[in-house]
Amino acid sequence: MRGKGFAVSWLFAPYVGSADIDFFKRIKDTAFAWDVVQVARDSRDDRILRYATAPIERFEIQTDHNNPRTLRAREDFMRESLALFEARRASYDFIVSHSNEMVSHDVAAEIKRRHPALPWIAYFGDLFERNPYVKYIPNYPLVQENIDIERQTLRMADLVILNNEYQKSLMFCGPMRRYASKCVVIPHCFDPRMYPADGEERENPHFTLVHTGTLYHVKRTAEPLLRAVDRLIEIYPAYRNRFEVVFFGNTPTSRDIKVHTNMVNRNHVRFEEPVSYLKSLEIMCGADALILIDGIFSPEEDGIDCNPFLAGKLMDYMGARKPVLGITMDKGPSADILRASGNMLADDRIDRIAFVLKRYIDRKVSPDFGIYQQYTADRIGRMMDEAFASVLEARAA
C-alpha cells in the first residue's frame, strides 16, 4: 500500500444507489488503504464488497438517512465523522470527500481547517449550483447551503476530481474559473468481474431492449420512447410483436403510466420491479440492446446547452458488451462516448427515436468494444491512484 486515506462519503457500498456504487468502484482497486465514514441505510448488498482489492474499513453513522438534507442529519454526520477522524488522525496520509451528500465535503473542509497540511481531494459525482434538475424539485432543501459548500470546496480542496469535461465547464466558471487548474477529469467505470460468465437465459424470442434505473417526472422520462414504439409500428406494421422494451426500476411516474396506458401497442412495453445491482448486470447481459435515457435540457428553460451528467449506468451497460441506444442531447459526455463507440443517438423527437429503434431491432448497430474497455475499473483505479499520488508528491516536495 502507498498510504492510507480517510474517505467521507454519506453514500457508499454495500448500499446500492448509483452514487454508492460509483464512489466504491473508484477506490476499491487503488493502491491505498481506506477508512470510509458513511451513513447506515436499509437497502444493502454485501456481496458488492467482495470486489474490492484495496483494504477498506467502513464506519457507519446512524442518522436520519431518509431525510439527509436537514440540518439535524448533517450535524449528526459532521460530529460523528470528525470524532472518527480525530481518533485515528495519525494513520491518515490524506482525506477524500464525495459530493453525495454535499455535507461530506463540508466535513472534509472542517478537517482541512483543523489540519491545513493534510491533503484534501474532493470528488463531485454531480454539480450542484448549475444542476438543471434542482428547480424542478419543489421545496428542495438547503439549496444555498449546498451552493456555499460547492464553492467552498472548489476554493479549499487541493485537488478536485470530476467525471466529465461538461461538468467542469459549468462548475469552474465565473469567479470559480481561477481554481480550474487543480481539477482533473476521471470518468466512471465498470468492473468486468461483477458480470456473470454467461448472460441470463431467457425464453422470450423477441428482440429485447432493456432500461434499468430511475426515471424522473421531467426531462428524463419514458414518454418519448413509448410514443416512438407506437410510431415505429404505425409506419412499419411488420414490426408488431418483433420486439419488446422492458424497464426495470422504481414505480413509473403518473405521466409515464398514463402514456403507457394510452399506447396502441402497450403490450410491447413492460415495467418491472427494481432488482439488485448485481442482478441488473445479469439482466443487461441477457438483453439484445440497452437503453440510456438522459435529461434533455435547453438554454431557454435550463440555462445550459448540454447534458453535463455522465451516466454511471452507461458504464454498467458497456460492461455487458451490448449495443446501447442513447436518448440524449447531442452535446454531453454520454453522447460523446456513444458516438465514439459506434452506437446511435436520438433526442426527444419521436420520429428520430423510432428510426434509431428500428436500426437496433434490425441489428444494424455493432459497437466498438475496444472503446468500452477504456472504462474498466482497473484502468480508472490507476487514474485515481495517479491523482492521489500527485497531491501527496506535491505536498512532500
Say if CB 204 and CB 372 are below 8 A apart: no
Residue 253: pLDDT over 80 = yes
- Where does the pLDDT of residue 90 fall: very low under 50, low under 70, confident under 90, or very high at 90 and above? very high
Q: Which three cell numbers stand for residue 87?
A: 481518533
Q: What is the pLDDT of residues 324-364, one digit of tens each?
A: 999 999 999 999 999 999 999 999 999 999 999 999 999 99
Average the pLDDT over each of 52-56, 128-132, 140-144, 204-208 and give the range with the smallest value.
204-208
Say if CB 36 and CB 56 are below 8 A apart: yes
The CA distances from residue 381 to 25, 27, 232, in Å, are 8, 6, 42
Q: What is the pLDDT of residues 20-50, one digit of tens each?
A: 999 999 999 999 999 999 999 998 999 999 9
Residue 202: pLDDT over 70 = no
pLDDT of residue 395: 80
Report how far apart the first and last C-alpha atoms of the chain are (Å, whole number): 20
Looking at residue 303, its amino acid is G
Once rounded to an integer, what is the mean pLDDT over residues 72-82? Answer: 97
- Where does the pLDDT of residue 130 fall: very low under 50, low under 70, confident under 90, or very high at 90 and above? very high
Report percent pLDDT > 70 for the chain.
98
| Residues listed for the chain | 397
What is the phi-psi region of residue 303: left when phi exceeds 0, alpha when psi lies from -120 to 50, beta otherwise? left
Residue 312 CA from chain centroid, whole number: 3
Residue 146 CA from chain centroid, whole number: 19
Just give the CATH number of 4-189+376-396: 3.40.50.2000
Say if CB 49 and CB 20 are below 8 A apart: no
Residue 204: pLDDT over 80 = no
Residue 112: pLDDT over 80 = yes
pLDDT of residue 93: 97
Query: What is the domain partition of the chain in residue ranges?
Result: 4-189+376-396, 193-374
To which H or E segment does residue 243 belong?
A: strand 243-248
pLDDT of residue 1: 66
pLDDT of residue 14: 98
Average the pLDDT over each of 1-5, 244-248, 259-263 and give the range with the smallest value.
1-5
Domain pair 4-189+376-396 / 193-374, same fold = yes
Domain 193-374, architecture per CATH: 3-Layer(aba) Sandwich (3.40)
